[in-house]
Structure 1
Amino acid sequence: MPAQVIKIIGARQHNLKNLSVEIPREKLVVVTGLSGSGKSSLAFDTLYAEGQRRYVESLSAYARQFLDKMEKPDVDFIEGLSPAIAIEQRSAGANPRSTIATTTEIYDYLRVLFSAVGQPHDPATGKALVRQTPQQIVDQILVYPQETKIVVLAPIVENERGEFRDVIEKLRREGFVRARIDGDIIELGRPEPIRLKKTELHTIEAVVDRLIIRDGVRVRLADSVDTALKWGGNRVIVLRQQPIIVGQARRLPAAESASDALALQFGWQLQRYSTDYGNADSGFTLGELTPKHFSFNSHLGACPACHGLGTQLVVDPELMISEPEKSIADGVITPWRRGPKRMQAYYKKLQGALVKHFRIDEEAPFGELPENFKSALYFGTGETPIEMKFASNGEKIARPFEGLVPQMQRLYEETESEFTRNRIRSFMTRESCKVCRGARLRPEILAVTISAVISSKQSRGSELKRPAPGSLSPSRTGISVRDDQLRELNVHQFTELTVAEAAQFISQIALSAQQRQIASEVVREIESRLQFLLEVGLGYLTLDRESGTLSGGEAQRIRLATQIGSGLAGVLYVLDEPSIGLHQRDNIRLLGTLNRLRDLGNSVIVVEHDEETIRSADHIIDLGPGAGPRGGEIVAQGKLDEILSAKNSITADYLSGRARIAIPRQRVAPRSINHQPFVTPKRSEGGSTINPDPEGWLTIVGASENNLKNVNASFPLGCFICVTGVSGSGKSTLVDDILRRALFRHFYNAKEKPGAFRGLRGVDQIDKAIVIDQSAIGRTPRSNPITYSGAFTPIRELFAQLPAARVRGYDAGRFSFNVKGGRCENCEGGGLIKIEMHFLPDVYVECEVCHGRRYNRETLEITYKGKNIADVLDLTVDEAARFFRNVPSVSDKLNAMLDVGLGYLRLGQAATTLSGGEAQRVKLATELAKRATGRTFYILDEPTSGLHFADIENLLRVLIKLRDAGNTLVVIEHNLEVIKCADWLIDLGPEGGEWGGKIIGAGPPEEIAETAGSYTGQFLRSLLQ
């Protein structure tokens, strides 16, 4: 009988204090505690790491070399461990070819579905393509009137340049007597050679047979059609001459050549047939469709222009102008300031010629120059010549100017120099491919559709996007449609749907009985995967959304949905805060999903701070009592009732109501109290929104990216602002895709292009924009809190000023472990030596020369107050703040770290060991320590990720300090404890995806709580009472 518990004895990974615990199996277990208390060390670095390591070690040495090497956790004993799967809070990677549809395998099934039952169309006309068997072709030809003369042709070459001597010779050798070349039937065995002009387009068709429609001709005709299909690549052409009726006028088809002697004399008509999909009218044919044809990673289906990426690098005019307030004479045109001196001289003369031609003042700011000059500079003068003087003899040359954009684009595509390409790439941005318009696939593949019968009685909330106008015919055979609408989508249009829309469409797919027999299993797989995504609250995401653009919480829930779909049992699942990014309204569905995973017979361990999730757990483990070295112990464990009665548990204090985050007594009101940008504004006759008072506000006008419905959003400056709304309502689109990118382009000339919006007002009232997120403060163990905060520089300068250091001539660089001089060269300042173990994990051992101290002996002889530089790096922030209390340049930065609750961190602690919450607080402390200008615009996206109730209270204290210095904070947040403390809320909705993107209300939390239709207001109401 399998063990009923997972038994851990002596866990010492990271800050765990020789921890021993029994965790019930096949239960939903929540591990909670302060940020840095050891939750991830227990759940991921001990339980998951050991489960994964045991699995990897069961494989052969050959197989292990292809897998990540797992380090054995510092633990004495673990019993009852199942195979482990971690679903972490991490990005899905930046591969542009990875989408939600590909990650969840939905796209794989879509490719099978479209290749099996999709209806192809002619991409030029939209007409449905049909395919025929050789027998059907023969039957159609035999329908011609008796005595009709026909010529059966096999198309060999169609509209290609060349002499084609080898083709003609091969036809002659294979026994063909005649061929139709450029409309004329020619004897292949004639004495004079057949000469074709190499530079002209030619069409060659082999004459397979000539016969007359009569009784008994079927067998001969069938053989001829088979031969023609074989030689013509599944295509056959039939020329026919109907019996002449006396007195009836003959009409030639427009498609025939004027030089066709037979057509001219006898009125031949041309008909095309194919066993592939084809359009008899236009001659377009499409070969056998396979799943590879619908893959944008295969050359068979990928758009040839963008190679399946859907985007292309194009020159962006705005990136060429560094500072619009500078003049042309000051070198505002960035590309013309670079390159060798010879090229710079050429550009200077070219610049002078343009200035002279357009008669502009080259000393004037670029932003004030006339638009016709800017247009000519960017895109050229067309056919208008510009007089330029280049030759030393004074000779003048007049020729059109190509323009910066086409010139740079041409150079990028033609040059073989990687250096030149890199230089030009700095002026380029990614835009939707102009050929496939972002669809990634070839036109003929995008013309393959499937249909769904959409009820005409459907509500607005379930209405699907219509296909783009292009007139793909909705007709399908074998499907009965009466009052309902038959709607067609190609594979790209299907992936443009949200998960909710796609689930509705696939459930109503229109298939004939034969098609349903072929595709029913595929449809069922697609439906189940879409349903799992709906269950984890991702119904608002579109299937074509790139994986790299997902938040950590969204990426994690996608992996969770994939695991549910796998149906595994007896597995240990370890999840990292799955509720991140979810609105309270959607949380109950997530909890249902976790319970379902448990009910399959799995053990589910969740690192979580969400109150609702903690209350729903079967078993709770609370770590603490503090963070870092003060944590790593079990404060309380058991069912909810046992946790609530625990005396020394901070978690219990907040859950029981003994402690709570207080609502601010007074909120900061907007500077301009009469400004009401969110009340439905009056519009002028021209249709633009009238903004009564922009002073004290930063306003985005006409935001329409993704699902935003042309909204005007105003942010009161000097306030703490929360942007709220259900998942998928447009918060990240508004704040990150539009506001953040627009500000970064304005202040830093960033390459990222903002989403669609008409204007940004009030930007002159701020001096910089800063994003504070939970990304790591460094990628290597050499990065640490003291180097990131900037406090290490004054510390090194302090040591360099000591008498002993000055006597030896040491400068501040001597006390850096990243450069030669003072560091230990055996470990290059790392303190550890990496030993590669090949099939086993790499082992890090303490450097035997410096014994982990990083520096050489001479450097360590310099001391301040009895401590050398290595001793200083080993101090906690708490200890260091006291040690350097008389050194303001250091203590100010350390005190800021104390204010954000990071007193337990060691100054030299590797950045790679910090949690996301800790990394974010280091960034906040760095901002706190800076001299405030009172005009900084801060943007934070869900800063409460990974934070306990007590950590959130500390975070709010810091945010309010930043606000009190006159700065503006915009926070995307779902946590109600943060939302209730904001000065101003902007609530988006009412739903996610296509049914969101509107501003439901804006104002203080008390106003939003009373706003009809606001889900945020509904949950906020009880907290404000």
Structure 2
Amino acid sequence: MTSYNKNYIEIIGAKVHNLKNVNIRIKRNSFTVFTGLSGSGKSSLAFDTLFAEGQRRYVESLSSYARQFLGKIEKPAVDHINGISPAISIEQKVNTRNPRSTVGTTTEIYDYLKLLYARIGKTYAKDSNELVKRHSHTDVLQFLGKISKDERFLILAPCGEENRSISWIKSLKIKGYSRLFYKNEIVSIEDIGIDQKTEWNKLYLLIDRFAGNEFDEDETLRLTDSIQTAFYEGHNKCSVFLYQKGSYKSFNKDFEHNGVTYIEPSLHLFSFNNPLGACPKCEGFGSVIGIDPELVIPDKGLSIYQGAVACWKGEKMSEWLDQVVLNAEKTSFPIHKSYASLSQEEKEQIWNGTDHFHGIHDFFKFLEQNSYKIQYRVMISRYRGKTPCPECEGTRLRSDTRYIKVGDRNINELVNMSISDLSAFFNRLRLSEFEENMCKRILSELRFRLDYMLDVGLGYLTVNRSSNSLSGGESQRIQLATSLGSSLVGSMYILDEPSIGLHPRDTKRLITVLRKLNKLGNTLIVVEHDEDIMDEADEIVDLG
């Protein structure tokens, strides 16, 4: 058996494509650049020989059961390859066509965002922006511990909608209760008169009475027992009435606020691939088939008067334009201003209409209502296309996630930020000590991945950007950042011209990333022509 140096990868007799019996030794755990003229065999040596043989040997190491699903990989035209490591190819091509795949899911940034919001996300009420919380008897005790020493208070069980009947009053008598609290007064159950004028929302069952905020052991046990009884009788609701202030403090074991029930933060709630978290209208895709604004207004440099709205042309359809022109003065709508210069409010007027003229949406509703006519069906089809979902606005998640925030931002706002803005947000994020301890590892992984995305020059992308809309170079650099984030060692990475499309400033940052990947203990082989990357290489192989 021929001996070989374990510190080198030896290729003997490579004959793939343009290669003519090539022999070469590449130092392991080094940074090697393959360069040369077009057609000289750089890619044939790197991808069709080294990578192909690395993949073939990996597949052959699997069980026969696993190999039947992978298919047979042909051995490349080469006599011998010694010292080869498991190979990972990062080429300039978009690897996924899955419409659900995004930059966030590919880089795992979104996975860590989901974990962060599931762990420390706080839900705020839709109407009042107050914190929504599931209370326990401990919360009631903490509240009572902060009141003044002279304060007298009552522990009450509110009368819920399911209890608003005479039969409920009778059942309280059977249970042994004797007092109610109605309109800020204590009344006997025997004396309460129930009729159509009874204000049930002001009726409470009196559980117990206390004074002050200092309790001995027996009083604490009694108070705790009274609070738990109030939660039971009030169907998970409990109220405290403070005599001096004449005010109520309500507690609720259910996750609700002002009668509105909210969904508690969980991992599935923030996943658009799960029925619980996906937007019900677009089912987590972020887009629906609707009227495409780009087709309706193709030239934004035109004014409405000049015919910016393409569907309002022609003898019949121009009537819609005429009614806008004739009534625009009543709403001060600028018909001679280019569409691109209109404010957001003015754009909404032309789309949604006003009290004095119909908008574009009204026009298409008219076409839908008369779609039994073939000419209207044809016109609708001309302007149909994929548009952002009107319910989730392209974020793919159900509307409930908008009320769950970390650092005054919900997850929908974060996924629409650029990577650079998102990195700045997490660098200035300040959490409580408890939250910091809960999410220390999550935050470090998030910052780690965001920094690598910046290092490969992709700070302008958003987390919500669809993977199938990326260019080949962007997709390659995302894979590079993901590989670095995985901290894999002992592998052979083969890259195809990663510097293409990069600004010279970003090339230096890319070199830093490549060096980090190399220093982890990986062999790096890069097909490249960029002088800066060639200068940084440990070895250069010039073919041709």
Do they superpose with TM above 0.5? yes
Q: Which residue of 2 aligns with 1:213?
A: 209
Preserved CA contact (<8 Å) 2:157 2:233: no
Q: Which residue of 1 aligns with 2:443?
A: 523
Deviations along 1:775-811, whole A, 9 cap, x unmatched?
xxxxxxxxxxxxxxxxxxxxxxxxxxxxxxxxxxxxx
Q: How does 1:173-212 map to 2 (within 5 A)?
A: 210-212=206-208
Between structures 1 and 2, the one with greater helix share: 2
Q: Which residue of 2 aligns with 1:432?
A: 388
| Structure 2 residue 526 is the aligned partner of structure 1 residue 620 | no
Q: Which residue of 1 aligns with 2:237?
A: 236
Preserved CA contact (<8 Å) 1:272 1:283: no
| Structure 2 residue 403 is the aligned partner of structure 1 residue 447 | yes
Aligned with residue 273 of structure 1, among 229, 240, 251: 251
Q: Which residue of 1 aligns with 2:323?
A: 372
Q: Which residue of 2 aligns with 1:59?
A: 62
Q: Which residue of 2 aligns with 1:129?
A: 132
Q: Which residue of 2 aligns with 1:607?
A: 527
Kindly tell me: are residues 9 and 367 of structure 1, through their superposed partners in 2, closer, same or farther at Cα, counting changes over 3 Å? Answer: farther
> Secondary structure in 1 aligned to 2:131?
coil
TM-fit CA distance, 1:217 = 8.0
TM-fit CA distance, 1:286 = 3.7
| Structure 2 residue 89 is the aligned partner of structure 1 residue 86 | yes
Aligned with residue 49 of structure 1, among 52, 61, 64: 52
TM-fit CA distance, 1:574 = 0.4
Kindly tell me: are residues 227 and 585 of structure 1, through their superposed partners in 2, closer, same or farther at Cα, counting changes over 3 Å? Answer: same
Deviations along 1:330-381, whole A, 9 cap, x unmatched?
xxxx99xxxxxxxxxxxxxxxxxx99xxxx955xxx6798443999xx9999
Tell me how far apart the structure 1 counterparts of residues 315 and 516 of structure 2 sit (CA, whole Å): 72
Tell me how far apart the structure 2 counterparts of residues 495 and 217 of structure 1 sit (CA, whole Å): 51
Tell me how far apart the structure 2 counterparts of residues 230 and 298 of structure 1 sit (CA, whole Å): 34
Q: How does 1:347-362 map to 2 (within 5 A)?
A: 361=315
TM-fit CA distance, 1:440 = 3.0
> Secondary structure in 2 aligned to 1:213?
strand
Q: How does 1:689-728 map to 2 (within 5 A)?
A: none
Q: Which residue of 1 aligns with 2:79?
A: 76
AA aligned opposite 2:323: N
Tell me how far apart the structure 2 counterparts of residues 307 and 224 of structure 1 sit (CA, whole Å): 46
Q: Which residue of 2 aligns with 1:504?
A: 424
Tell me how far apart the structure 2 counterparts of residues 620 and 442 of structure 1 sit (CA, whole Å): 53
TM-fit CA distance, 1:573 = 0.3
Q: How does 1:289-300 map to 2 (within 5 A)?
A: 289-300=265-276
TM-fit CA distance, 1:431 = 2.6
Aligned with residue 463 of structure 2, among 537, 543, 547: 543
Preserved CA contact (<8 Å) 2:121 2:265: no
AA aligned opposite 1:304: P
Kindly tell me: are residues 240 and 621 of structure 1, through their superposed partners in 2, closer, same or farther at Cα, counting changes over 3 Å? Answer: same
Preserved CA contact (<8 Å) 2:155 2:226: no
Preserved CA contact (<8 Å) 1:152 1:224: no
Tell me how far apart the structure 1 counterparts of residues 351 and 428 of structure 2 sit (CA, whole Å): 49
Structure 2 unaligned residues grouped into runs of 5+: 181-199, 212-217, 299-309, 327-349
Tell me how far apart the structure 2 counterparts of residues 422 and 297 of structure 1 sit (CA, whole Å): 34
TM-fit CA distance, 1:309 = 3.1
Deviations along 1:367-418, whole A, 9 cap, x unmatched?
798443999xx9999999xxxxxxxxxxxxxxxxx96622676899xx9xxx
Deviations along 1:233-268, whole A, 9 cap, x unmatched?
8x415486969x9xxxx9xxxxxxxxxxxxxxxxxx
Preserved CA contact (<8 Å) 2:11 2:25: yes
Q: Which residue of 1 aligns with 2:40?
A: 37
Preserved CA contact (<8 Å) 1:147 1:212: no
Q: How does 1:584-733 map to 2 (within 5 A)?
A: 584-624=504-544
Q: Which residue of 1 aligns with 2:302?
A: none
AA aligned opposite 1:46: T
Deviations along 1:160-218, whole A, 9 cap, x unmatched?
xxxxxxxx99xx9xx9999x9xxxxxxxxxxxxxxxxxxxxxxx99x996434247887
Q: What is the TM-score when the length of structure 1 is the normalising length?
A: 0.40
AA aligned opposite 1:406: K
> Secondary structure in 1 aligned to 2:525?
strand
Tell me how far apart the structure 1 counterparts of residues 64 and 234 of structure 2 sit (CA, whole Å): 54
> Secondary structure in 2 aligned to 1:539?
coil
- The number of equivalent residue pairs is 471
AA aligned opposite 2:209: I
Preserved CA contact (<8 Å) 2:231 2:238: no
Tell me how far apart the structure 2 counterparts of residues 116 and 293 of structure 1 sit (CA, whole Å): 12
TM-fit CA distance, 1:44 = 1.1
Which structure has more RCO (C-alpha within 8 Å, separation ≥ 6)? 2
| Structure 2 residue 97 is the aligned partner of structure 1 residue 115 | no
Q: Which residue of 1 aligns with 2:414?
A: 494
> Secondary structure in 1 aligned to 2:122?
coil
Deviations along 1:21-40, whole A, 9 cap, x unmatched?
22222221112233333222
Kindly tell me: are residues 381 and 133 of structure 1, through their superposed partners in 2, closer, same or farther at Cα, counting changes over 3 Å? Answer: closer
Deviations along 1:492-526, whole A, 9 cap, x unmatched?
22233332332232222212222222111111111
TM-fit CA distance, 1:604 = 0.7
Tell me how far apart the structure 2 counterparts of residues 369 and 434 of structure 1 sit (CA, whole Å): 24
Deviations along 1:609-643, whole A, 9 cap, x unmatched?
2232233322222333xxxxxxxxxxxxxxxxxxx
Tell me how far apart the structure 1 counterparts of residues 151 and 520 of structure 2 sit (CA, whole Å): 71
Tell me how far apart the structure 2 counterparts of residues 88 and 586 of structure 1 sit (CA, whole Å): 19
AA aligned opposite 1:124: D
Q: How does 1:378-527 map to 2 (within 5 A)?
A: 405-406=364-365, 427-451=383-407, 488-527=408-447
Q: Which residue of 1 aligns with 2:291?
A: 315
AA aligned opposite 1:300: L
Preserved CA contact (<8 Å) 2:364 2:380: no
AA aligned opposite 1:293: L
Deviations along 1:999-1025, whole A, 9 cap, x unmatched?
xxxxxxxxxxxxxxxxxxxxxxxxxxx
Preserved CA contact (<8 Å) 1:26 1:601: yes
AA aligned opposite 2:101: S
AA aligned opposite 2:157: V
Q: What is the TM-score when the length of structure 2 is the normalising length?
A: 0.71
TM-fit CA distance, 1:571 = 0.8
Preserved CA contact (<8 Å) 1:101 1:544: yes
Preserved CA contact (<8 Å) 1:114 1:491: yes
TM-fit CA distance, 1:321 = 11
- Bigger mean CA offset, 311-320 vs 97-106: 311-320
Tell me how far apart the structure 2 counterparts of residues 274 and 285 of structure 1 sit (CA, whole Å): 11
Kindly tell me: are residues 312 and 525 of structure 1, through their superposed partners in 2, closer, same or farther at Cα, counting changes over 3 Å? Answer: same
> Secondary structure in 2 aligned to 1:434?
coil
Aligned with residue 18 of structure 1, among 18, 21, 28: 21
> Secondary structure in 2 aligned to 1:120?
strand
Preserved CA contact (<8 Å) 1:276 1:288: no
Kindly tell me: are residues 369 and 121 of structure 1, through their superposed partners in 2, closer, same or farther at Cα, counting changes over 3 Å? Answer: closer
TM-fit CA distance, 1:577 = 0.7
Kindly tell me: are residues 554 and 69 of structure 1, through their superposed partners in 2, closer, same or farther at Cα, counting changes over 3 Å? Answer: farther
| Structure 2 residue 506 is the aligned partner of structure 1 residue 577 | no
Q: Which residue of 2 aligns with 1:152?
A: 157
AA aligned opposite 1:605: I
Q: How does 1:752-901 map to 2 (within 5 A)?
A: none
> Secondary structure in 2 aligned to 1:500?
helix
Kindly tell me: are residues 311 and 238 of structure 1, through their superposed partners in 2, closer, same or farther at Cα, counting changes over 3 Å? Answer: same
TM-fit CA distance, 1:582 = 0.3
AA aligned opposite 1:601: G
Q: Which residue of 2 aligns with 1:302?
A: 278
Structure 1 unaligned residues grouped into runs of 5+: 159-167, 181-203, 251-268, 323-333, 336-353, 385-401, 416-420, 452-487, 625-1025
AA aligned opposite 1:505: F
AA aligned opposite 1:307: E
